[in-house]
């Protein structure tokens, strides 16, 4: 084997190793991700069967988060996952919230959803209600793959109505949001 042939093989191998994809995630991102998962997805330090099977608690929570946001499910901290974590959001945790019946149990079969106002509250003008609903839906659209379109007749994916929940408690906010693709009726109060 000649020296030039050996050098060309070594150079080719070195080039292949150093020209591979470079991770876009750094130690600062890893620390941020761990804090994010603790705050919003109830990441805890665990031992036991999960660890013995080789699935770390961080990987399990990354999978949960990636599924929740419609990202590619890898269980690893990639650039898309970090970008989603860095988007603006509310302070309410997303994972394992039993008190909200739609979290984790239902997922829209599509990302383009329609909504319709069935009626309005007497506490606000029609334009105030319309603007408030539009702004609220845009908050969701900015941080999820969901897109919302208003319709004015027929059955929408989301039917919004105002009313009384019970005789002694009048609500001045959206009382019911009916998810037409879900069998259960959900109440927001």
The DSSP symbol for 39 reads: H
Q: Which residues belong to the annotated binding site?
A: 90, 123, 157
The DSSP symbol for 102 reads: T
Q: Which residues belong to the annotated binding site for Zn(2+)?
A: 90
Q: Which residues belong to the annotated binding site for Ca(2+)?
A: 123, 157
Nearest to 79 by CA among 5, 26, 150: 26
Q: How far apart are CA 85 and CA 79, in angstroms?
A: 10
Given a contact cutoff of 8 angstroms between Cβ atoms, the answer to whether 188 and 160 are in contact is: no
Q: Which residue has the tokens 């106002």?
A: 117
Q: How far apart are CA 145 and CA 121, in angstroms?
A: 29
Q: How far apart are CA 182 and CA 102, in angstroms?
A: 9
Q: Which residue has the tokens 């009916």?
A: 178
């Amino acid at each position: 084997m000649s020296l030039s042939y050996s050098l060309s093989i070594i150079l080719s191998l070195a080039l292949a190793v150093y020209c591979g994809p470079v991770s876009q995630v750094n130690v600062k991102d890893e620390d941020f991700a761990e804090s994010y998962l603790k705050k919003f997805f109830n990441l805890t330090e665990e031992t036991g069967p999960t660890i013995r099977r080789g699935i770390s608690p961080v990987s399990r929570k990354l999978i949960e988060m990636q599924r929740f946001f419609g990202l590619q499910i890898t269980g690893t901290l990639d650039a898309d996952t970090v970008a989603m974590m860095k988007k603006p959001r509310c302070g309410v945790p997303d994972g394992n919230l039993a008190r909200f019946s739609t979290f984790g149990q239902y997922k829209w079969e599509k990302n383009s959803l329609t909504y319709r106002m069935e009626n309005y509250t007497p506490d606000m003008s029609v334009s105030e209600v319309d603007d408030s609903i539009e702004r609220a839906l845009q908050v969701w659209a900015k941080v999820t793959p969901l897109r919302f379109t208003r319709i004015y007749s027929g059955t929408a994916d989301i039917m919004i109505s105002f009313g009384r929940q019970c005789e002694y408690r009048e609500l001045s906010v959206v009382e019911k949001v009916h998810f037409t693709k879900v069998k259960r009726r959900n109440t927001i109060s």
